[in-house]
Amino acid sequence: MRALVTGCAGFIGAHLCERLIREGWRVTGVDSLEPTYDTIGRRSRIAAIATTGNLEFIEGDLNRIDLRPLVVDADVVFHLAARPGVRASWDDFSQVADANVLATQRVLDALVGTQRTRLVFASSSSVYGQALSFPTSENQRIAPISPYGVTKAASESLIAAYVSQFDLDVTSLRYFTVYGPNQRSDMAFTRWIKAAFQNQPLTIFGDGSAERDFTYVEDVVAATIRAGEAAAGGHAVFNVAGGNPASLQTVFNLIETFTSRPVDFEFLPAAKGDPPRTGGDTTRIRQVLRWEPRWSLEDGMAAQVAWIRQALNLD
């Protein structure tokens, strides 16, 4: 099988490339590596994957490069490229829209007329906004409360339109709060674990009462590959969630346990666009794709703490 992975240098994208290569896929990865966010992390991830010798890497912007030859040559396009971050999306919506919506349309345009190429799109639980019920099913209304969530919802709508008019085969996966080793430096778990090791306060937006459906990155990758291997028959949408939402206090307790450091906190005003609670219903993906999460929060947190401990040379 041949895969095209956009956003291959990102947190999830790099894990996906490594797993695909291990499973014998031929992988082409595209990433802009522009100095916008986590540039050092993205370059180091690509360098690590390149050591396997099984990744064809193309540095370029999806809105500028010729995608058609790359798409035609692939069995599955895993479209993970995006400008991430709910809080950051308020700062420059035009850039977020370019990276998330316009780039998705270019991928869709390149797919039109292909007979065998399947698309897996990385969406987000942010499309739900402040959900009306928990666990939240894919049938619940989409009502994003952040510019980032708006771009993911708009991309899903674009996909639905293209599928209806051009008979494409697309699966959208709504990821819920992904964490694990090699996570971006700006993401909460990485920031908090590093702060604990360095005896600094953990910076919290809001009062710390939020609850999230944390999903370990290897589980997310497994669901993504499963979606790539299964025919959608139009536009299929699935939640990808850990299945056991936890409070931030639970996370803080685990950080104390696994770092063996007491933690203190610095509270900041609640961030716009962050819902107080998330929780994904995974009934559909369990039934259709036969996927279910395997990692507990405790095991996943232990793995991420071990990765950061090594990165900080604390062993």
Distances from the Cα of 203 to the Cα of 9, 38, 247, 269, 271, angstroms: 27, 19, 16, 10, 12
Its sign, for the CA torsion 147, 34, 30, 167, is positive
Tell me whether residue 19 is exposed, middle or buried, using C-beta atoms within 10 angstroms of its C-beta: 0 to 12, 13 to 18, 19 or more: middle
Reading the block at residue 207, the tokens are 């009062």
Query: CA 137, CA 284: separation in Å to the nearest integer?
Result: 8
**29: number of Cβ within 10 Å:** 28
Check if 148 is active-site.
yes
Distances from the Cα of 278 to the Cα of 11, 133, 181, 189, angstroms: 21, 9, 22, 17
Pairing mode of beta strands 246-247, 211-212? antiparallel
Contact 32, 106 (CB under 8 A): no
Reading the block at residue 57, the tokens are 């890497």
Query: CA 168, CA 161: separation in Å to the nearest integer?
Result: 10
DSSP string, 260-309: T----EEEEPPPTT--SB--B--HHHHHHT-------HHHHHHHHHHHHH
**264: number of Cβ within 10 Å:** 11
* Annotated catalytic residue within 148, 162, 175, 179: 148
Q: Which residue has the tokens 């969406």?
A: 123
- Report the catalytic residues: 148
